[in-house]
């Protein structure tokens, strides 16, 4: 079981209430009275999320997901259950199985998302947003990847810093759990958190987290505008694709080829399809066995035989 920091006695009401009042306007919760499932691991961010959701007047259910990846992890559900009862929220415990192997962190996150169900809120903060942007840069993301996570009911705390969730837990007298995997250098996010972000701060001479969060905000605005413009293009019309600015043609093809797919097509696939539209090739193969061919000036998507 992860370690638990004892927050000490709850702070006086005015101080606690003032902190809640200062944080809530920066949250992106749905309207009071709305039912909301909240993923709560027992860490400081998710406990702060739980407290803020209750303070917002939502009908909150705290959901703890046990991945079974370390001894004693099931006991952490008791910490979350106690916090939910104290704050006046419902509680559910879920268990998922994540087999050992590569990409363990990503597979564990995906299993948790499935267990929480659609529309559930998680406690990602502005600091997590900054880490996400840097991680995507390291993976070679395009402009859309810089948009990071989208603020809203599923990510309501992106306007709040990790230091503020810590302060709120202390003000409420909530002891949180420290997940030992958060210090494991095998996970790239931890290296970004512990090494890359501090180095960026040192080189910039300032806290870069708000800068990276602002970059994500601007990238989301640009993405929305470009998506609207690309939506006017017929992605199956080879002539229209040739005449369009290349960024819009790429985006129109990405939307067409990515529909109903678990992941969007990569840049290399998009460029090969553009070559078909421009008459440089008659057809191209896509990952997963799909194929795009040009006939009579139209692009056709051929699904693999089953």
Q: Which two tokens stand for residue 98?
A: 């994540």
Q: For residue 154, how far is the Cα from the chain centroid?
A: 9
Does the domain spanning 3-125+160-183 belong to CATH 3.40.50.620?
Answer: yes
Segment 141-164 mean pLDDT: 96
% pLDDT > 90, the chain: 74
pLDDT higher than threshold 80 for residue 19: yes
Q: What is the pLDDT of residue 184?
A: 76
Q: Is 83 exposed, middle or buried (0-12, 13-18, 19+ CB in 10 A)?
A: buried
Q: What is the pLDDT of residue 4?
A: 46
pLDDT higher than threshold 70 for residue 11: no
Rounded-to-10 torsion of CA 72, 76, 78, 83: 160
Segment 230-254 mean pLDDT: 97
pLDDT higher than threshold 60 for residue 128: yes
Q: What is the pLDDT of residue 264?
A: 87
pTM of the model: 0.88
Average pLDDT, the chain: 90
% pLDDT > 70, the chain: 92
Angle at 274 between CA 272 and CA 277, to 5 degrees: 120
State the sign of the Cα–Cα–Cα–Cα dihedral 177, 180, 183, 189: negative
- pLDDT-based confidence at 118, cuts 50/70/90? very high
Segment 43-53 mean pLDDT: 97
Q: What is the pLDDT of residue 1?
A: 42
What does the pLDDT look like over 20-38, one tens digit per residue?
999 999 999 999 999 999 9
Angle at 91 between CA 88 and CA 97, to 5 degrees: 155
95 vs 183, more confident: 95
Which of 101, 96, 54 has the alpha carbon at shortest distance from 74?
Answer: 96
Q: What is the pLDDT of residue 306?
A: 60
Domains of the chain: which residue ranges? 3-125+160-183, 231-302
What does the pLDDT look like over 211-237, one tens digit per residue?
999 999 999 999 999 999 999 999 999
Angle at 286 between CA 148 and CA 271, to 5 degrees: 65
Asked if 94 contacts 66 with a C-beta cutoff of 8 angstroms, the reply is yes
pLDDT higher than threshold 70 for residue 130: yes
Spatial separation of the C-alpha atoms in residues 43 and 3, rounded to whole Å = 10
Q: For residue 122, how far is the Cα from the chain centroid?
A: 9
User: 95 forms bridges with which residues in the sheet?
Assistant: 66
Those residues with Cβ within 8 angstroms of residue 71's Cβ, 6 or more apart along the chain or in another chain: 1
Q: What is the pLDDT of residue 10?
A: 62
Q: What is the pLDDT of residue 8?
A: 47
Q: What is the pLDDT of residue 70?
A: 63
Q: Is 174 exposed, middle or buried (0-12, 13-18, 19+ CB in 10 A)?
A: buried
Segment 104-132 mean pLDDT: 89
Q: What is the pLDDT of residue 73?
A: 65
Asked if 41 contacts 2 with a C-beta cutoff of 8 angstroms, the reply is no
The CATH number that domain 231-302 falls under is 3.30.465
15 vs 174, more confident: 174
Instruction: Write the DSSP assignment of the chain as a string of letters.
Output: --EEE---SPPPHHHHHHHHHHHGGG-----TT-EEEEE--SSHHHHHHHHHHHHTT-EEEEEEEE---STTGGGHHHHHHHHHHHHT-EEEEEE----SSTTHHHHHHHHHHHHH-TT-B----HHHHHHHHHHHHHTT--GGGGG-SPPBTTBTTTTS-HHHHHHHHHHHT--EEEPGGGG-TTSHHHHIIIIIHHHHHHHHTS--HHHHHHHHHHHHHHHHHHHHHHTTS-TTBHHHHHHS-HHHHHHHHHHHHHTT-SSPPPHHHHHHHHHHHTTS-SEEE-GGG-EEEEETTEEEEEPPP-
What does the pLDDT look like over 157-169, one tens digit per residue?
999 999 999 999 9
């Amino acid at each position: 079981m992860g370690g638990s920091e004892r927050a000490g006695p709850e702070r006086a009401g005015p101080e606690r209430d003032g902190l809640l009042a200062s944080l809530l306007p920066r949250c992106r919760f749905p309207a009071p009275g709305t039912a909301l499932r909240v993923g709560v691991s027992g860490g400081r961010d998710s406990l702060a999320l739980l407290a803020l959701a209750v303070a917002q007047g939502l009908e909150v259910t705290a959901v703890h997901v046990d991945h079974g990846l370390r001894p004693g992890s099931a006991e952490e559900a008791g910490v979350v259950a106690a916090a939910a009862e104290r704050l006046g929220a419902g509680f559910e415990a879920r268990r998922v199985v994540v087999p050992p192997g590569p990409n363990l962190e990503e597979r564990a996150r995906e299993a948790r998302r499935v267990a929480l169900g659609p529309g559930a809120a998680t406690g990602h903060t502005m600091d997590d947003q900054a880490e996400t942007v840097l991680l995507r840069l390291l993976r070679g993301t395009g402009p859309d990847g810089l948009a990071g996570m989208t603020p809203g009911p599923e990510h309501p705390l992106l306007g709040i810093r990790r230091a503020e969730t810590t302060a709120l837990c202390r003000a409420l007298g909530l002891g949180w759990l420290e997940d030992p995997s958060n210090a494991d250098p095998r996970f790239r996010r931890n290296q970004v958190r512990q090494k890359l972000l501090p180095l960026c701060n040192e080189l910039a001479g300032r806290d870069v987290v708000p800068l990276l969060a602002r970059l994500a905000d601007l990238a989301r605005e640009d993405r929305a505008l470009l998506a609207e413009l690309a939506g006017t293009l017929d992605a199956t019309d080879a002539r229209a694709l040739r005449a369009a600015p290349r960024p819009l043609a790429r985006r129109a093809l990405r939307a067409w080829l990515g529909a109903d797919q678990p992941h969007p097509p990569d840049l290399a696939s998009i460029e090969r399809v553009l070559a078909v539209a421009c008459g440089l090739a008659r057809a191209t193969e896509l990952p997963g066995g799909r194929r795009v061919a040009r006939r009579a000036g139209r692009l056709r998507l051929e699904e693999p035989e089953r």
